């Protein structure tokens, strides 16, 4: 199984600012996934990040709001831009294992 770490684990930010979340995996992976979990809700896929190409975004998510970088096979960042209180969520990084998907510990974001 993959070991995934995320930084920061939590943050409180003011509206209008941006936060970059880092995701580090202990092995090389082709695809990394970013999910959002709003309070009391399930997980929603934001985008899929492949190394060396542009991230692909799901319906309802755009690159200007959630720019993603994927500089190598073990690392990715997700930026939440121009934040509003509606962006308060847990943001989770995930990678594919041989048969299943593994999740990082998440970043709990509160926007005031």
Partner 1 sequence: QKEVEQNSGPLSVPEGAIASLNCTYSDRGSQSFFWYRQYSGKSPELIMSIYSNGDKEDGRFTAQLNKASQYVSLLIRDSQPSDSATYLCAVKTAGEYGNKLVFGAGTILRVKS
Residues that bind partner 1 (CB under 8 A): 31, 33, 41-45, 48, 56, 58, 90, 92, 94, 99-106, 108
CB of 45 to partner 1, least distance (A): 6
Q: Which of 44, 56, 59 is nearest to 90 (CA)?
A: 44
CB of 33 to partner 1, least distance (A): 8
CB of 82 to partner 1, least distance (A): 25
User: Between 40 and 85, whose beta carbon lies closer to partner 1?
Assistant: 40
Residue 72 backbone dihedrals phi, psi, to 5 degrees:
-155, -175
Contact 44, 36 (CB under 8 A): yes
Q: Which of 26, 25, 7, 12 is nearest to 78 (CA)?
A: 7
């Amino acid at each position: 199984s993959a070991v995934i770490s995320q930084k920061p684990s939590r943050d409180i930010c003011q509206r209008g600012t941006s936060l970059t979340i880092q995701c580090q995996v202990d092995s090389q992976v082709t695809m990394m996934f970013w999910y959002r979990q709003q309070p009391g809700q399930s997980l929603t896929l934001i985008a899929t990040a492949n190394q060396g190409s542009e991230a692909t975004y799901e319906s309802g998510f755009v690159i200007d709001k959630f720019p993603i970088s994927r500089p190598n096979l073990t690392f990715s960042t997700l930026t939440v831009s121009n934040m509003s209180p509606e962006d308060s969520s847990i943001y989770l990084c995930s990678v594919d294992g041989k048969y299943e998907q593994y999740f990082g510990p998440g970043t709990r974001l509160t926007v005031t």
